[in-house]
Structure 1
Amino acid sequence: MKIYVKVYRVQGEVLVAACDEELLGKTFREGELKLEVKERFYKGELREVEELESLLEEATIANLTGERCVKKAIELGYVDEKRVLYIQGVPHAQMAKLL
């Protein structure tokens, strides 16, 4: 399985939005929390999860949804596993680099 990745470049910021392929277009709810994996935000290129490393190196902000994306970001040291939010069992993490 692959991941969808979309890169936004705005005013010096590089935002990487990535989600596991099978989550695209789905909505998850748990209590007051709602996670929408919208195509217009996440659907960019279909890539191998290993490619996330070079993208996160360049990113100043990242929005990551799904087991593969979040696990890779944790392995690379970009996300603290204690800070991962789970909605209906789906992991979601955000990252911001302070420059």
Structure 2
Amino acid sequence: MYLKIHRSGDNTIVAVCDEELIGRTLKEGNIVVTITEEFYKGEIVSESEVKDAISQSSNVNIFGEKAVSCAIECGAVNSSCVKIIDGVAHAQIFRI
């Protein structure tokens, strides 16, 4: 999986996605999302590194079955809150 951390001042956004999704555009109804290299392609990391990053972050954007499963396994995402877009699992986390 790819993990990329974006920092701007006090704000941090963590982007996680399954490797095979980079560059793919998902379309479903009015939703169109492109999983860009610029936003998602960081370092290839292990499941434990993904879980650590997700657990410690307040703003996370996740695409892919493996990546979303990590978020569910570490208790950050409830499986009923996962959105499927064009057959791909997606979850977002916003902690206040």
Give the TM-score band, short-chain normalised.
over 0.9
- Of the three residues 82, 86, 89, the one matched with 1:88 is 86
The gaps in structure 2 that reach 5 residues or longer are: none
Corresponding letter in the other structure for 2:84:
Y
Report the CA distance between 1:50 and its aligned residue: 2.1
Matched with 2:65 is: 67
Q: How many residues align?
A: 96
What is the deviation of 1:52?
A: 0.9
- The answer for the alignment partner of 1:48 in structure 2 is 46
Secondary structure of the 1:55 match is helix
Aligned to 2:16: 18
Q: Among residues 31, 35, 45, which one is paired with 1:37 in the alignment? A: 35
Alpha-carbon distance in structure 2 between the residues aligned to 1:95 and 1:32: 22
The alignment's C-alpha RMSD in Å is 1.1
What's the TM-score once normalised by structure 2's chain length? Answer: 0.92
Range with bigger deviation, 61-70 or 79-88: 79-88
Aligned 8 A contact 1:17 1:41 in 2: yes
Q: Is the 1:17–1:64 Cα contact (8 Å) retained in structure 2?
A: yes
State the one-letter code of the partner of 1:62.
V
Q: Is the 8 A contact 1:13 1:60 kept in 2?
A: no
The 4+ residue runs of structure 1 with deviation greater than 3 A are none
Q: What runs of 5+ residues in structure 1 fail to find an aligned partner?
A: none
Give deviations 1:23-57, integer Å, cap 9, x for gaps: 00101111111121011000111111221121123
Q: In structure 2, the residue corresponding to 1:70 is in which secondary structure? A: helix
Give the percent of matched residue pairs that are identical in Structure 1 and Structure 2: 39
TM-score, normalized by length of structure 1? 0.90
Query: How far has the Cα of 1:95 moved from its partner?
Result: 0.1
